[in-house]
Amino acid sequence: MDGDRFTVTYILSAESEKEVNSRAESIRVEQTVEMPLSAVPAPGLHSLGRIESIRKTEENCRWRVVISYPNQLSFNDITQGINVLFGNISLLPGILITDCSDSFFKPLFSGPAHGIRGIRELLDNPNGGISCTALKPVGLSPQELAERALHFAASGIDLIKDDHGLTNQNSAPFTDRVRQCVYAVRAGEQKSGKRTLYFPNITSSPEKVLENAIFARENGADGLLLCPQLCGLELIRTISSEIGLPVMAHPAFSGSMVIHPDHGFTPEFYYGKLWRALGADCVIYPNAGGRFSFSEETCQRINTQLRTPFCGFQSSLPAPAGGISLESIPKLLQQYGPDTAYLIGGSLYANNLGFAEAAKQFNQTLQ
Amino acid sequence: MDGDRFTVTYILSAESEKEVNSRAESIRVEQTVEMPLSAVPAPGLHSLGRIESIRKTEENCRWRVVISYPNQLSFNDITQGINVLFGNISLLPGILITDCSDSFFKPLFSGPAHGIRGIRELLDNPNGGISCTALKPVGLSPQELAERALHFAASGIDLIKDDHGLTNQNSAPFTDRVRQCVYAVRAGEQKSGKRTLYFPNITSSPEKVLENAIFARENGADGLLLCPQLCGLELIRTISSEIGLPVMAHPAFSGSMVIHPDHGFTPEFYYGKLWRALGADCVIYPNAGGRFSFSEETCQRINTQLRTPFCGFQSSLPAPAGGISLESIPKLLQQYGPDTAYLIGGSLYANNLGFAEAAKQFNQTLQ
């Protein structure tokens, strides 16, 4: 592929070779000039996508199609890059994006600022599996949430994040919550003798996200939790580059993009490549075997994609979550390895030992 | 429903009454406290969703479920409101949101600032069908795009928008394009003797969107085109309230939310209620019979929902688009009525008459 173009790989649903040819032809037009070719004037012809290959897959009526596009289409604009990937064609059935060439990412994206290595340095934890939990439920006061943070930090939990449903409710306004939880985590560290990083949830409207991020940084938060699909994907990059704290990306509202086997994006591409490229230092995703629907193979592919060399970007820390219990940690640690943040939320609170004692065992199991 | 709660109506896929009960139970927990009920402390119990009704539909294995939530969950935060609607459960199959009570919208949303009435006032066009076209293709220079704008305005087109793929490419940088197209549209109005409103595409990263919007307003643009699913949904509200120009919302990247019959949102809810509530003065959607997949019934439901009385909000102007030809306008006008922006892009350029003459006929047909 010449240096000024990038490729997108799609799996298209089509019942015949004729149909897949026609679908590929319409995609290369839809995502670029968006008008009948007969009416495209000469300067517009350079904008067109170009079909590079069409191949049958082993699955019935599914075709692997590669189309290349000029980098000029997404010049200097990540959001427009995402539009070229899946803007209008998101409205068409039977289109799944499985990959893009590095030449899509390299000119636009910078990847994580901290990544696995940076988070390990902040934690002073060079090797072990990483423990992670969530402050919840919504409805508790800042004091009550901070008390939980204190116990978790005292128990040695590595990463504590707000539940992504904690925003600015009257029960625990953002500013009070952040101040009290930061204070509690620092107090807990005195008891544990180790570092704990606290990630408050800054998700809100785009302008408020930045305001929240600045407040959190100024008040001693160690990282930031963001739901990019709710706020706008490119906010990952904005927060990463302008605030400087590690960004933990939460998948709320992104399910429609990744759970349909013949539409949207593969989870490993979306979370593993796109969110990593955008700058997510840690990516939460719904783990297999819990209450969500990813297979173990999908989870392993996300893990691999987040950690593997990719455009020279830092690796991102995978954080499988959802229905993980203390008892499942030894097996998961074998499966996913130590470069993983094991996120146990609800089941830690429900543990018969009490959550502080359960958190201690959680950490011990990961060492 | 008591005033401090709102309801969400879902269609859930489930094979038995037992299964649907269990799914509804898990949704009311997942979207609120997100932890086992046994571990929820007293102050968190007030946050829980409450199952209001579960009824079989006429379709096999599809159940209409109504769950209510306390307004406190989304207090003063639209993005968090959307998270309560479909945050984590977006990752679960077989959940379609079809409606919310007005008590979801009223405390959070303001609706369009201009709406159909406001756009008609700006156009000085109180009754007729509204013509709309797009400047394209990407690859043309600002001069070439402005020349098209001049001809369209001289032909009397009501609304001219940038193609949503025109961002800040070297071929036509945003600032040059806006300045030259505004100038051309004003010149065209001198020839037509009527108003034409120009909507440049401001879609980019969230911070850049605001910068673009301010530049466009200061340089005489009449409205703004935004792809909210790419930038972040709540930017519709931000732009509407902070910039003051009419906002035209484009559906790029939103397809995954609305094209699955058993997952996401119905198009009439998503575009017709949510985007209207957010403040979209005009909503572009893919028309039936073109290259996209909505049925005519779906399009009619979107139209109806955008125009019908709803929480005291201004109505929004529906803009069906995609594969509409000049020849289809008389029939469409009968179907959709005059309170509609008929968006013809590509097929106007491809018309044998030449696009300027075709645009004249387009306008005449709508009067």
Q: Which residues of chain B have pLDDT under 70?
A: 1-3
Residue A190 buriedness (CB in 10 A; 0-12 / 13-18 / 19+):
exposed
Rounded CA gap, A342 and A366, in Å?
9
> For residue B40, which amino acid is it?
V
Sheet holding A50-56, edge to edge: A50-56, A62-70, A5-13, A95-100, A264-265
Residue B341 within any structural domain of the chain:
yes
Name the residue with tokens 């509409």: B324
Q: Any idea what the CATH number is for the domain that residue A40 is in?
A: 3.30.70.150
Residue B124 buriedness (CB in 10 A; 0-12 / 13-18 / 19+):
exposed
At which of B105, B131, B151 does a domain end? B105
Give the distance from residue B229's alpha carbon to the nearest chain A alpha carbon, in angstroms.
7
A350–B255 CB contact, under 8 Å: no
**Helix/strand/coil percentages in chain B, nearest 5:** 45, 20, 35
Give pLDDT, residue A213: 98
Q: Do residues B142 and B181 make contact, with C-beta atoms less than 8 angstroms apart?
A: yes
Kindly report the CA angle at A290 between A285 and A292, in degrees rounded to 5?
A: 60
Rounded CA gap, B106 and B231, in Å?
24
Rounded CA gap, B273 and B249, in Å?
13
Residues A224 and A350 in one domain: yes
Give the distance from residue A139's alpha carbon to the nearest chain B alpha carbon, in angstroms.
4
Tell me, rounded to whole angstroms, the distance of Cα B207 from its chain centroid. 21
Residues B323 and B252 in one domain: yes
Q: Any idea what the CATH number is for the domain that residue A151 is in?
A: 3.20.20.110
B73–A349 CB contact, under 8 Å: no
Write down the H helix ranges in A160-295: 174-192, 206-218, 228-231, 235-243, 255-258, 267, 276-278
Computed over every residue of chain B, the mean pLDDT equals 96
Rounded CA gap, B151 and B263, in Å?
43
- Helical (H) or strand (E) element with B91: none
The DSSP bridge partners found for residue A341 are A130
Look at residues A267, A282, A305 and name the one whose alpha carbon lies nearest to residue A131: A282
Query: Three-state SS for A43?
Result: helix
Residue A189 within any structural domain of the chain:
yes
Q: Residue A346 has which token pair?
A: 């609800």
A-chain residues within 8 Å CB-CB of B203?
79-80, 83
Give the distance from residue B44's alpha carbon to the nearest chain A alpha carbon, in angstroms.
4
At which of B52, B75, B105 does a domain end? B105
Rounded CA gap, B224 and B213, in Å?
7
Residuewise pLDDT in 10s, chain A (367 residues):
455 999 999 999 999 999 999 999 999 999 999 999 999 999 999 999 999 999 999 999 999 999 999 999 998 999 999 999 999 999 999 999 999 999 999 999 999 999 999 999 999 998 999 999 999 999 999 999 999 999 999 999 999 999 999 999 999 999 999 999 999 999 999 999 999 999 999 999 999 999 999 999 999 999 999 999 999 999 999 999 999 999 999 999 999 999 999 999 999 999 999 999 999 999 999 999 877 779 999 999 999 999 999 999 999 999 999 879 999 999 999 999 999 999 999 889 999 889 999 999 999 999 8
Q: Residue B214 has which token pair?
A: 């301010």
Q: Residue B72 has which token pair?
A: 């406190």
Omega of the bond prior to B137 within 30 degrees of 0, cis? yes
Residues B282 and B165 in one domain: yes
B-chain residues within 8 Å CB-CB of A39?
346, 349-350
B293–A91 CB contact, under 8 Å: yes
Which of B78, B227, B237 lies at the smallest CB-CB distance from A83?
B227
**A285 C-beta neighbours (distance < 10 Å), count:** 30
B-chain residues within 8 Å CB-CB of A263?
256, 259-260
Residue B284 within any structural domain of the chain:
yes
Rounded CA gap, B186 and B247, in Å?
20
CB pairs under 8 A between A and B: 300
Residues B280 and B308 in one domain: yes
**DSSP sequence for A261-307:** TTSEE-HIIIIIIIIHHHT-SEEEEEPTTTTS---HHHHHHHHHHHH
Residue A293 within any structural domain of the chain:
yes
A-chain residues within 8 Å CB-CB of B232?
205-206, 230-232, 235
A349–B36 CB contact, under 8 Å: yes
A252–B88 CB contact, under 8 Å: yes
Q: Do residues A282 and A317 make contact, with C-beta atoms less than 8 angstroms apart?
A: yes
Query: Three-state SS for A241?
Result: helix
By residue count, chain B amounts to: 367
Kindly report the CA angle at A22 between A19 and A23, in degrees rounded to 5?
A: 85
Look at residues B28, B108, B103 and name the one whose alpha carbon lies nearest to residue B66: B28
Give the nearest chain B residue to A86 (CA atoms): B253
Residues A62 and A181 in one domain: no
Give pLDDT, residue B333: 96
Residues A166 and A230 in one domain: yes
Q: Residue B307 has which token pair?
A: 């125009």
B291–A43 CB contact, under 8 Å: no
Q: Which domain holds residue A91?
A: 5-105
Rounded CA gap, B3 and B70, in Å?
9
Q: Do residues B247 and B276 make contact, with C-beta atoms less than 8 angstroms apart?
A: no
Say which DSSP state B288 is in: T
Q: Residue B189 has which token pair?
A: 């109005």
Task: Provide CB contacts within 8 A for B193, sequence distance 6+.
Answer: none
Calculate the CA dihedral of residues A52, A58, A61, A63 and round it to 10 degrees. -10
> For residue B3, which amino acid is it?
G
Rounded CA gap, B133 and B130, in Å?
10
B87–A207 CB contact, under 8 Å: no
Q: Do residues B231 and B257 make contact, with C-beta atoms less than 8 angstroms apart?
A: no
Task: Provide CB contacts within 8 A for B320, sequence distance 6+.
Answer: B284, B285, B286, B287, B288, B299, B303, B332, B336, B340, B342, B343
B-chain residues within 8 Å CB-CB of A231?
79, 206, 232, 234
Give chain B's domain count.
2
Give pLDDT, residue A1: 47
Residues A170 and A293 in one domain: yes
A-chain residues within 8 Å CB-CB of B165?
31-32, 34, 73, 80, 83-84, 87
The DSSP bridge partners found for residue B131 are B342
Residues A118-132: tens digit of each pLDDT: 999 999 998 999 999
Give pLDDT, residue B290: 76
- H and E: helices and strands count for chain B: 17, 13
Give the distance from residue A256's alpha carbon to the nearest chain B alpha carbon, in angstroms.
6
Region of residue A145 (left: phi > 0; alpha: psi -120 to 50; beta: else): alpha
B-chain residues within 8 Å CB-CB of A249?
none
Rounded CA gap, A249 and B74, in Å?
20
Give the nearest chain B residue to A22 (CA atoms): B291
Kindly report the CA angle at B142 between A40 and B159, in degrees rounded to 5?
A: 80
Task: Provide CB contacts within 8 A for A143, sequence distance 6+.
Answer: A180
Which of B34, B144, B251 lies at the smallest CB-CB distance from A43?
B144
Say which DSSP state A72 is in: G
Query: Three-state SS for B266?
Result: coil
Q: Do residues A235 and A84 make contact, with C-beta atoms less than 8 angstroms apart?
A: no
Give pLDDT, residue B142: 98
Give the distance from residue A309's alpha carbon to the nearest chain B alpha carbon, in angstroms.
27
Which of A26, A90, A292 lies at the smallest CB-CB distance from B253?
A90
Residue B110 within any structural domain of the chain:
no
Residues B162 and B298 in one domain: yes
B-chain residues within 8 Å CB-CB of A232?
205-206, 230-232, 235
Give pLDDT, residue B1: 47
* Cα–Cα separations (whole angstroms), residue A84 to A81, B77, B250: 5, 30, 14
A139–B90 CB contact, under 8 Å: no
A255–B140 CB contact, under 8 Å: no
Rounded CA gap, B246 and B236, in Å?
10
At which of A35, A70, A105 does a domain end? A105
The DSSP bridge partners found for residue A6 are A69
A-chain residues within 8 Å CB-CB of B238?
205-207
Rounded CA gap, A132 and B206, in Å?
30
Which of B163, B170, B235 lies at the smallest CB-CB distance from A72?
B170
The DSSP bridge partners found for residue A50 are A68
Give pLDDT, residue A290: 76
Residues B193 and B275 in one domain: yes
A38–B350 CB contact, under 8 Å: yes
A35–B79 CB contact, under 8 Å: no
> What are the backbone angles phi and psi of residue B219, rounded to the nearest 5°?
-105, 20
> For residue B26, which amino acid is it?
S
Residues B190-209: tens digit of each pLDDT: 999 999 999 999 999 999 99
Residue A162 within any structural domain of the chain:
yes
**DSSP sequence for A99-112:** EE-HHHHTTT----
Q: Is the reported ipTM for this assembly greater than 0.90?
A: yes
Give the distance from residue A126's alpha carbon to the nearest chain B alpha carbon, in angstroms.
31
Give the nearest chain A residue to B71 (CA atoms): A169
Residues B361 and B285 in one domain: yes
A136–B44 CB contact, under 8 Å: yes
Residue A110 within any structural domain of the chain:
no
Residues B98 and B130 in one domain: no
B-chain residues within 8 Å CB-CB of A41?
137, 140, 144
Which one of B256, B283, B287 makes the best mutation probe of the A interface by having the most chain A beta carbons within 10 Å?
B256
Residues B251 and B328 in one domain: yes
| Neighbouring C-alpha atoms within 13 Å toward the C-beta of B145 | 33
Residue A292 within any structural domain of the chain:
yes
Calculate the CA dihedral of residues B310, B311, B316, B320 and round it to 10 degrees. -40
